């Protein structure tokens, strides 16, 4: 007969859910990737042959859009917890639209850069800008997909708040806040460098 160690209930409550843990590990690896890119940016900039240019204003607008989307998705989470399903669905759908809007504005910003003659291979400075903002846009796109999956859940769910539904939504909200704050960091970094 095999002995099974029982974990006291108090210790069980203090454990992080495996899905949350996996999300934070993924976020940490994304942070390391962008830390490496921004470090390489600074090292390469100090090497000379660096083209200075102004970031188009549309990047300010998409920063505002992603900040608003973060507020909206958090409000949707609060609405879910209060079982206000209609408001929850509306806010979650709005967050998805704002996420797509961010990506579209990112593309418009790249088009403004191209119109200024600053293309991907123009100079290392432009290459870094396209790579950093493009990789972030890919992560935002992943977040939009997660929001759309959550929206599908929102449409099919009844007026009952469940621990499983709350966990799924928390994962989406945490990831969305993460890509939001990551963009703010990257945008400020690109402005001051």
What is the SS3 assignment for 159-187?
CCCCHHHHHHHHHHHHHHHHHHHHHHHHH
Predicted model pTM: 0.88
**Which parts of the chain sit beneath pLDDT 50?**
1
pLDDT of residue 11: 54
pLDDT of residue 193: 77
User: Could you give the CA distance from residue 2 to residue 60 in angstroms, rounded to a whole number?
Assistant: 62
* Domain chopping of the chain, boundaries: 20-192
pLDDT of residue 9: 53
Q: Encode pLDDT of 30-54 as tens digits.
A: 999 999 999 999 999 998 888 888 9
pLDDT of residue 1: 46
pLDDT of residue 3: 52
20-192 sits in which CATH class? mainly alpha
Inter-CA distances, 121 with 51, 124, 134, Å:
12, 7, 14
User: Could you give the CA distance from residue 61 to residue 52 in angstroms, rounded to a whole number?
Assistant: 21
């Amino acid at each position: 007969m095999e002995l099974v160690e029982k974990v006291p209930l108090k210790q069980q409550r203090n454990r992080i859910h495996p899905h949350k843990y996996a999300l934070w590990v993924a976020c940490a690896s994304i942070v390391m990737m962008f830390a490496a890119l921004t470090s390489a940016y600074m090292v390469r900039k100090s090497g000379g042959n660096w083209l200075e240019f102004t970031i188009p204003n549309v990047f300010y607008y998409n920063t505002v859009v992603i900040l608003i989307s973060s507020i909206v998705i958090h409000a949707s989470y609060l609405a879910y917890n209060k079982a206000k399903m209609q408001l929850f669905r509306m806010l979650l759908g709005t967050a998805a639209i704002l996420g797509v809007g961010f990506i579209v504005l990112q593309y418009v910003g790249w088009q403004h850069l191209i119109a200024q003659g600053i293309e991907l291979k123009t100079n290392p400075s432009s290459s870094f800008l396209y790579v950093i903002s493009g990789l972030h846009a890919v992560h935002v796109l992943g977040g939009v997909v997660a929001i759309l999956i959550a929206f599908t859940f929102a449409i099919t769910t009844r007026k009952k708040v469940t621990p499983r539904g709350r966990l799924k939504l928390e994962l989406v909200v945490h990831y969305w806040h993460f890509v939001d704050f990551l963009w703010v960091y990257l945008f400020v970094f690109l402005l001051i460098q």
